[in-house]
Amino acid sequence: MKQSLIKLCLVFAAVMLLAVPQVSQAKELKGDLEIFSWWAGDEGPALQALIGLYKGQYPNVNVIDATVSGGSGVNAKAVLKTRMLGGEPPDSFQVHAGQELIGTWVKSDRMEDLTFLFKEQGWMDAFPKGLVKLIGTDKGIWSVPVNIHRSNVMWYIPANLKKWGVEAPKNWNDFLKIAPKLQKEGITPLAMGANWTATHLWESVVIASIGAEKWNNLWTGKMKFNSPEMIKAWELFGKILPYTNTDAASLSWQQATDMVIDGRAAFNIMGDWAAGYMETTKKMVPGKDFAWLASPETEGVFIFLADSFGLPKGAPNRDNAIAWLKLLGSKKGSDTFNPLKGSISARTDTDLSKYNVYLQSAAKDFAKDAVAASLIHGAAANETFMGGFAQVMEMFLKTKNAKATAMASQQLADKAQIGK
């Protein structure tokens, strides 16, 4: 008698548990929404604009902006890992689209498949097919991209080049010809910053050397890192390095860009956030005060990286997070965020009139260029490879031994199971 009563209670409780979320779903959203990102500093206002938009739509939701600052998310990612391992995931977190997410969190089975959202919102057609492929696996689509950045851009100041009597080089041979001349006059030909900007430069040089197709093959295992072509690419990189500044290791990317702005260096290869820095922080006019080209011999290639947000399994406020993701992928959200962040929208139907001259040219290139995934910004390889590659790069900067470095990167690729 007693037992059946307990059973009855249990069944009743189970029914209640199942029924309650459905009831609350029908009601207006409330509670918390914790957004985890590394957008502080220059990028903060763009995120705030998005949060403002969200609050306008769902005034009852308390948005917690959990920002952990630090370049390219070094610190944020470490904090995120301890939180996820401790069973305390945020509702939605920022992550570089591509292998960084897939190799870490999707492989660990900690993300929710967002295919339903893409179908429901019509995003399958709104985002380029190539991009959707890169953020998904055969098991689903894992994140909502909010922006697209280009990594292979060479920045310079036209007035300075005129003064020095040089032209922006179209290929590395031209560069190697004009570089000694510049160096003789006490000008650094190519400004570079800390370790990661060396890798940033390296990916542009490698694509110049082997082409976008073979670059993409590297990450599927069809091309080996120790192949003769890659050794040649490392050698080319080694030829360029002597023309960079000797104090690179202690500079941030902004300081490297400053060298170009101040006329202490001729060129800088950096992602297009440099345009945002020069325009917003330094109040320079794009196209007039500063100019750009695709980095030498990468004309027609768009090395891309994207920031995106995903939905971890067990997010405490799942409904609020889904509403947030819907906003991120929408045209309105995208066009609010990107002009402020200094990036282009991932959507094909974006309103270009809201963007500046540089971003308009980048958007045009994105529509027609071959797309290659950036290594240093998490699109090409998983974190095991990226973490190890920082050491491989240091090894090359120190020894300048192309063959040993190529061998080391292949060993690392095997360890990180690239292409498996």
Partner 1 sequence: MREASRDRLKAFLTLLPSIILIAVFVYGFIGNTIWISMTDWGGSGALAFDPQKNFIGLDNYVDLFNGFLSAGFRQDLVNAVYYSLMLLAGAIGLGMFIAILLDQKPKGEDVLRTIFLYPMSLSFIVSGTIWRWLLAPQGGVNVLPTYLGFDALDFQWTSSTKAILEFNWQNILQILIYIAAFILILVGLFLLKGDPQKAVKRWLGPGVVIGAFAWLGGSLLPKTLFMEEMHGFNLATLGIIIATVWQYAGYTMALYLAGFNGISQDLRDAAMLDGASSTNYYRYVAIPMLKPITISAVIILSHISLKMFDIIFAMTGPDNAQTGHPALNMYMTTFRANDFARGAAIAIVLFLVAGTFIVPYVIGQYKQRRRG
Q: Please identify which residue in 117, 284, 291, 390 interacts with partner 1, judged by CB under 8 A.
A: 390
For residue 301, list its beta bridge partners: 370
Q: Which of 72, 70, 68 is nearest to 273 (CA)?
A: 72
Task: Find the shortest distance in angstroms from Cβ 107 to partner 1.
Answer: 4
The two three-digit tokens of residue 416, written as one number: 């990180």
Residue 412 in the binding site for partner 1 (CB under 8 A): yes
| Interaction residues for partner 1, span 183-212 (CB under 8 A) | 194-196
Collapsing DSSP to helix, strand or coil, 384 comes out as: helix
Residue 85 in the binding site for partner 1 (CB under 8 A): yes
Residue 411 in the binding site for partner 1 (CB under 8 A): yes
**For residues 234 and 228, what is the distance between their CA atoms, to the nearest angstrom?**
10
Q: Which one of 179-187, 284-292, 367-375, 390-398 is the stretch in contact with partner 1 (CB under 8 A)?
A: 390-398
Residue 169 in the binding site for partner 1 (CB under 8 A): no
What is the chain's percent helix, strand, coil content, to nearest 5?
A: 55, 15, 30
Residue 265 in the binding site for partner 1 (CB under 8 A): no
Residue placing its CB nearer to partner 1 in the complex, 163 or 415: 415
CB 165 within 8 A of CB 184: no
Residue 69 in the binding site for partner 1 (CB under 8 A): no
Q: Which of 418, 82, 17, 16 is nearest to 223 (CA)?
A: 418
> What track of x and - describes contact with partner 1 for positions 111 through 140 (by CB under 8 A)?
------------------------------
Q: Which one of 108-116, 161-169, 175-183, 317-325 is the stretch in contact with partner 1 (CB under 8 A)?
A: 108-116
**For residues 80 and 61, what is the distance between their CA atoms, to the nearest angstrom?**
22
Residue 55 in the binding site for partner 1 (CB under 8 A): no
Query: What are the residues whose beta carbons fall under 8 Å from the beta carbon of 51, sequence distance 6 or more?
Result: 35, 63, 65
Residue 394 in the binding site for partner 1 (CB under 8 A): yes
Q: Which one of 179-187, 225-233, 363-371, 397-405 is the stretch in contact with partner 1 (CB under 8 A)?
A: 397-405
CB 52 within 8 A of CB 23: no
Distances (CA, A) of 382 to 69, 70, 137, 340: 22, 20, 14, 29
Residue placing its CB nearer to partner 1 in the complex, 3 or 246: 246
Q: Please identify which residue in 83, 107, 214, 326 interacts with partner 1, judged by CB under 8 A.
A: 107
Q: Which one of 11-19, 29-37, 101-109, 336-344 is the stretch in contact with partner 1 (CB under 8 A)?
A: 101-109
Residue with token string 């750009």: 292
Q: Which one of 2-10, 75-83, 225-233, 268-276 is the stretch in contact with partner 1 (CB under 8 A)?
A: 75-83
Q: Which one of 119-127, 244-252, 319-327, 358-366 is the stretch in contact with partner 1 (CB under 8 A)?
A: 244-252
The two three-digit tokens of residue 411, written as one number: 């060993």
For residue 275, list its beta bridge partners: none
**For residues 257 and 281, what is the distance between their CA atoms, to the nearest angstrom?**
12
Q: Please identify which residue in 47, 50, 77, 346 interacts with partner 1, judged by CB under 8 A.
A: 77
Q: Which of 181, 156, 173, 236 is nearest to 203 (CA)?
A: 236
Catalog residues that contact partner 1 under the rule CB under 8 A. Answer: 74, 77-78, 81-82, 84-85, 103-105, 107-110, 194-196, 246-251, 382-384, 386-388, 390-395, 397-398, 404, 407-408, 411-412, 415-417
